[in-house]
Structure 1
Amino acid sequence: MVRSVRVRVGGRVQGVGYRAWARRTALSLGLEGWVRNRRDGSVEAVLQGAPDRVEAMIAACREGPADASVTGIEVLADEAAGAFTGFEIRETA
């Protein structure tokens, strides 16, 4: 079974290496998808993989890298199951 979610992380999450950290963490968990900065200062990601691995990534996103200060996270179901190969950093949207 594959779970796919879209997460938006708020707080001090830009300029602290959050995207690179998210990519490394997602790959270490065997997840696929992408991560990008948003113009509103948040970070958005689509995470896809085994449900327990996706949950582990969501938990990790609540903390983020050492220099981040996460103030909130929104998790929504995503319909992109099967649409990704690997995990990429995308351009700001």
Structure 2
Amino acid sequence: MNKYELALVVNAKVEDDVRAAVVEKAKGYITRYNGNITEVEEWGKKKLAYEIQKMHEGFYYFIQFEADADCPAEVERHVRIMDNVLRYLVVRKDA
């Protein structure tokens, strides 16, 4: 099992419960593909480096998880089409 981190930037204009649902859905995709979530960090609302979809702020979340090599591609495939996700990135963390 490799260690990965999913970075999510969620739309800042949505309600708290909608934002929480987006994060839970992303966590659900990780567990669906046999990933084990180890930590979830919420950094809160931050100013974006550049405008995305006419928005200047977003909520940042970092989800650390352990999974097999095929899991990150499947998670990205699903997160790519999620509503209210401005940007995402899955990176492998070194040991």
- Fold-level match, TM-score > 0.5? yes
State yes or no: 1:20 paired with 2:24. Answer: yes
TM-score by length of 1: 0.61
How far did 1:23 drift?
2.5
- The AA in structure 2 aligned to 1:75 is V
The equivalences for 1:1-93 within 5 A come to 2-12=1-11, 15=16, 16=18, 17-33=21-37, 34-40=39-45, 41-64=59-82, 68-79=83-94
CA separation in 1, counterparts of 2:84 and 2:34?
25
1:32 CA drift (Å):
0.7
Call closer, same or farther: CA 1:3–1:59 in 2, change over 3 Å.
farther
**Unmatched 5+ stretches in structure 1:** 81-93
CA distance in 2, matches of 1:59, 1:47: 17
Greater share of residues in strand = 2
C-alpha displacement of 1:26: 1.8
The structure that has the greater radius of gyration is: 2
| CA-CA distance at 1:12 after TM superposition | 1.4
* Structure 1 Cα separation of the partners of residues 30 and 65 of structure 2: 8
Please list the CA deviations of residues 3-39 of structure 1 after superposition, one character each: whole Å capped at 9, or x if unmatched: 3221211131773212221232222211012334321
Q: Which runs of 5+ in 2 are unaligned?
A: 46-58
- Once the 2 structures are TM-superposed, how far is the Cα of residue 45 of structure 1 from its aligned partner? 1.0
Distance change (3 Å), C-alpha of 1:54 and 1:37? same
**Count of paired positions:** 76
SS of 1:63's partner is coil
What's the Cα RMSD here? 2.4
Given that residues 6 and 88 in structure 2 are in contact (C-alpha distance below 8 angstroms), is that contact kept between their aligned partners in structure 1?
A: yes
Aligned residues with identical type, % of pairs: 11
